[in-house]
Amino acid sequence: MLERTAPRNVLGKTLVELGEDNPDIMVLDADFCTASKTVAFKDRFPERFIQVGIAEQNMMGIAAGLSTVGFTCFASTLCVFCSRRACDQVTVSIALPRLNVKILALYAGIFVGKNGASHQALEDIAIMRSIANMVVVQPADAQETQQVVRFAAQYDGPMYIRIGRDPRPSMVPHDYKFQLGKAVTLKEGKDITLISYGDMVEDTLNAALSLEEKGIHARVINMSSIKPIDEEAIIKAAEETGKIVTVDNHNIFGGLGSAVAEVVCEKMPVKVRRMGVRDVFGKSGTNEEMQKRFGLRAEDIEKEVMSLLEN
Amino acid sequence: MSKKNADVKKLEEIAHRTRINVVKMIAKSGTGHLGGSMSIAEILAVLYFHELRIDPKNPEWEDRDRFVLSKGHACPALYATFAEVGYISKDILLTVHQTDSPLQMHPERGVCPGIEMSTGPLGQGLSTAVGMAIGARVKGKDFRVYALLGDGECNEGQIWEAAMSASKYKLDNLVATIDYNKFALSEATEKVMPLEPLYDKWTAFGWHVIEVNGHSVTQLINVYDEAKQIKGKPTMIIAHTVKGRNVSYVEDTWQSHSVSMTSEQVENTLTELGCSKEEIKTTLAQMKEKK
């Protein structure tokens, strides 16, 4: 594997590059810019960086207002505050009028340092997925993060972009180009399909590589575009492999697993197993401790695949 | 009559017609936020016919002043004012609250010309106005931004988040007005959640604060003129008003907040507002039409 980079570490640099080319890019922050790394934009373009303080609801409203004047706004803080705290502002001030606000949501799912239950984002995908006009994306690595943020600057409308906190290896192909609503197949296979996104792609792929050694050919799909979702890739996987395991960094209710199951049930019914946090709150702990606690390590994924294949 | 007196009279007449239209709209719809619409008729008339730099023929003009109705539920008065401005045709006023009408029960940006921001859930509009005011400055534009808040709306924490940010960014291109009609949905605002001392609170948050009789066109013209002279801070106009103004059966009570009016109540109210018997007959007939 290549060197590991945290998706958040490319955020500041990418925003600065966009800001150099486009005077209408603005970045908003709720006292998190040193952790989210958007501080680089603040240093380069102080007049286009709005610090609202610890007031996420106000941040979303200000971003909405700015966008009506012609700015493309990137509003950023932790996933939990973007989604749970500012849910109504995102819905009515941003999504309803379909304004050009990109929410950069940091600290995705269970990977939040040791911050514990209150800071773990297990609901945000479900919340954002159910808001009309909203797009939901989580890139798998630094390269895809750059692509998604660049895409966001061109896309006209609201987006919820979940950004991983911790270093991940390069997952997407070298010449990869992000397309909204388009999944990328990281590994071909005919026996079963594993679908994941963001931080979980690494261990999902590792599980598939280990299975390969045992003669099980698992397809691996990176579903970075969670909404709109790539229905075609899901239907094809159901048709060709007959079984699907989804791996969520989120509550199993309302996350990627739900989204995949919705497509499968309607279009091509096959067995789907949803891995993820099974409707409980988290705890303080390292990433490794959390993955073990919730059964989301590569070996757990492998076990789930074996159990599904045996039944 | 001097020009100034003639202007005042014209604005008072617009506010009066707005009230009549609000009653007709709510009568036809069968429901609506009467009290908070009747209390802002003069404020809207002064804003749209004295204060705002707008082009009635081009609601999208990029250098226009912006207005955000943060207390979105009072939009019947805004729609009636828009019909006076020419943003919308008077003919569509009675489609208010219908599914396919641009006149939704809470205003929606992109659905009705002139609506700058979708509002309804209280507390959200002022933040968006702050964003527009910051945006004007970053773009080097000289347009000004106006927001109209409810008094009960100031219970919302987001209002004070927005208040702090407007002060931090020294937004002297932002003027907010509170429709201080003293009643929320369920009872008096002072009982629901005390707001006083409201003047001191906004002053403490770094705003230039002016108190005014919100039904006096002359006073309103003067305070909006004063706000233009203030530099380095946003202005808050606390407009003392009467909820349900000129609807005697519910005036100055919380019961005027959201109403369904009977034919008798419509007839009496329109009579009090000086409508002709013919006009009232038409409205009563429209009430009976299929919704």
- Residue B200, pLDDT score: 98
Q: Which of A77, A259, A225, A49 is nearest to A140 (CA)?
A: A225
CB contact under 8 A, B118 and A92: yes
The domains spanning A7-163 and A184-310 adopt the same CATH topology: yes
Q: Which of A47, A164, A70, A61 is nearest to A111 (CA)?
A: A164
Average pLDDT (A131-156) is: 98
Contact B214, B179 (CB under 8 A): yes
% residues pLDDT > 90 (chain A): 99
Distance CA A147, CA A152 (A): 9
- Residue A2, pLDDT score: 59
What CA–CA distances, in Å, run from B49 to A83, B66, B82? 40, 14, 11
Q: Which residue of A has its CA nearest to B63?
A: A69
Q: Which residues of A touch B113 (CB under 8 A)?
A: none
Q: Which residue of A has its CA nearest to B164?
A: A52
Question: In chain A, what is the greatest distance between 2 CA atoms, to the nearest angstrom?
Answer: 60
Q: How does the average pLDDT of chain A come out, rounded?
A: 97
Q: Which of A163, A149, A180 is nearest to A27 (CA)?
A: A149
CB contact under 8 A, A69 and B131: yes
Find the CATH number of the domain harbouring B134: 3.40.50.970
Mutate which of B128, B141, B142, B205 to test chain A, going by most A C-beta atoms within 10 A?
A: B128
Give the residue numbers of A annotated as catalytic, written as ranges.
Answer: 56
- Residue B291, pLDDT score: 55
- Residue A3, pLDDT score: 84
Spans of chain B below 70 pLDDT: 1, 290-291
CB contact under 8 A, A61 and B119: no
CATH architecture of A184-310: 3-Layer(aba) Sandwich (3.40)
Mutate which of B70, B71, B161 to test chain A, going by most A C-beta atoms within 10 A?
A: B161
Number of domains in chain B: 1
- Residue B290, pLDDT score: 64
pLDDT digit string, tens, across residues B2-32: 778 879 999 999 999 999 999 999 999 999 9
Q: Characterise A279 by phi-psi region: left (phi > 0), alpha (psi -120 to 50), beta (else).
A: left
**Domain extent for B284:** 3-288
Q: How many helices (H) and strands (E) does chain A have?
A: 13, 12
- Residue A311, pLDDT score: 78
The answer on pLDDT for A1 being more than 50 is no
Residue A67 has φ and ψ, to the nearest 5°, of -65, -30
A7-163 domain in CATH 1.10.599.10?
Answer: no
A·B CB contacts under 8 A:
107
Distance CA A227, CA B81 (A): 40
Domain boundaries, given as residue ranges, for chain A: 7-163, 184-310
